[in-house]
Amino acid sequence: MDQARARSAFDHERLLHELANSDAASESSDTQTEPDFTEYLAFYGLARHAEHRAQVLSVDVADRRERIVLQRFSPAKPNAWAIFHHGYFDHVGLFGHVIDYLLERNIGVFAFDQVGHGLSSGERVTVQNFDHYVDVLHAVLGEIDRAVQTTPHWLGQSMGGAILLEYLQRHPDRQIKELVLFAPLIRPYAWAVNRIYFWLAKQMITERPRTITSNASNAEFLYLQHHDPLQAEVLPVAWVQAMVHWFEDFVHYPVSNRAPKIIQGHQDRTIDRRYGAKVIDARYPNTKWLQIPEASHHLANESAAIRAKMFAWLDSECQWR
């Protein structure tokens, strides 16, 4: 049975205040205080068997400096390192199951909150261009390269997978180990119909209320989403437009010899899995797939049985050292 999350106290405003002060202190001569992540880690069930460290990066995003929070989860003696990129509306706190899976294999994990998500600063869950997400990833990778000086594995969920693929398109010589994508975003679900609603909506509104729906067969995760103080409550039209611009370019990229390992659920009602598979197979002919008929979109938080199937497949397909 899943260990219940969102059952303890978490004063997120206090932590955000401490992070903002930490960011300001890094650019002055003031004494810098270390933000206290104790409540955060307990609330999300993170780092139960690992050393945890957090770092505040100051990153240029468009015409502003933003606070990007990078976390490191370390086993006692890591054999390898991985970077994890969360999906849209998500943040590091939601991905304890994947982090624990990697830690159990003696893989240290770097994970960060994208601009506008989780503990990082920026306009909530929106950008004008996906280039801004790529810029943040580039800054994070530079910090990771300095910290561990080794080639990491890359893992991404949904939008996070899309940004990893975009980065590799722009940096074809970038060396990585495994590339694992959970339900990567190429185009949203039912886009042929929804694009009409989007065109009409953007004439009249800048955002609409977000409805949190069940995108995993896991009641514990749905409870967490509804009680998560770091969840955004709106869907900005600007983000949808940025996504459209990105995938309209992405589908025309040339063939790549990268070999992603992709897990996809057939009950996914967030992305267009059939269209995405067609695009990915054409562009990445070396892709390996695990199709899970009973799984939905948020694979990292699916039921224990589905996660067991997913992790067993990764063990059989990945060279984790």
Reported confidence tier of residue 206, pLDDT bands at 50, 70, 90 = confident
Query: How many helical (H) and strand (E) elements, i.e. helices and strands, does the chain have?
Result: 10, 10
> pLDDT band for position 26 (50/70/90)?
low
Quote the pLDDT of residue 126. Answer: 96
Task: Indicate if the pLDDT at residue 309 is higher than 70.
Answer: yes
Average pLDDT, the chain: 93
Q: In sequence order, which residues have a C-beta less than 8 Å from that of residue 283 and are 6 or more positions away?
A: 253, 254, 255, 256
Residues 51-71 have a mean pLDDT of 96
Assign 25 a pLDDT band (cuts: 50, 70, 90): low
Give the range among 27-31, 85-89, 120-124, 219-223 with minimum mean pLDDT.
Answer: 27-31
Domain ranges (residues) in the chain? 12-317
At residue 1, the pLDDT reads 42
DSSP secondary structure code for residue 271 in this structure: B
* Ramachandran angles phi, psi of 172, nearest 5°: -65, -20
Lowest mean pLDDT among 86-100, 127-141, 144-158, 192-206: 192-206
Residue 23 clears pLDDT 90, i.e. is over it: no
Tokens of 6: 């969102």
Q: What is the pLDDT of residues 280-307, one digit of tens each?
A: 999 999 999 999 999 999 999 999 999 9
| Better-scored residue on pLDDT, 217 or 225 | 225
- The 10s digit of each residue's pLDDT in 101-150 is 999 999 999 999 999 999 999 999 999 999 999 999 999 999 999 999 89
Fold of 12-317: Rossmann fold (3.40.50)
d(CA 308, CA 43): 23
pLDDT digits (tens, 9 = 90+) for 227-266: 999 999 999 999 999 999 999 999 999 999 999 999 999 9
Task: Give the lowest-confidence range in 28-32, 55-59, 221-225.
Answer: 28-32
pLDDT attached to residue 29: 46
Rounded to whole angstroms, how far apart are CA atoms 307 and 3?
Answer: 14
Q: Which pTM was predicted?
A: 0.95
Q: Cβ distance 233 to 124 under 8 Å?
A: no
Lowest-pLDDT choice from 39-53, 180-194, 212-226: 212-226
Question: What integer pLDDT is reported at residue 207 of this predicted model?
Answer: 78
Q: Are 223 and 252 in contact (CB under 8 A)?
A: no
**Residue 34 vs residue 134, higher pLDDT:** 134
Chain-centroid distance of CA 298 in Å reads 11
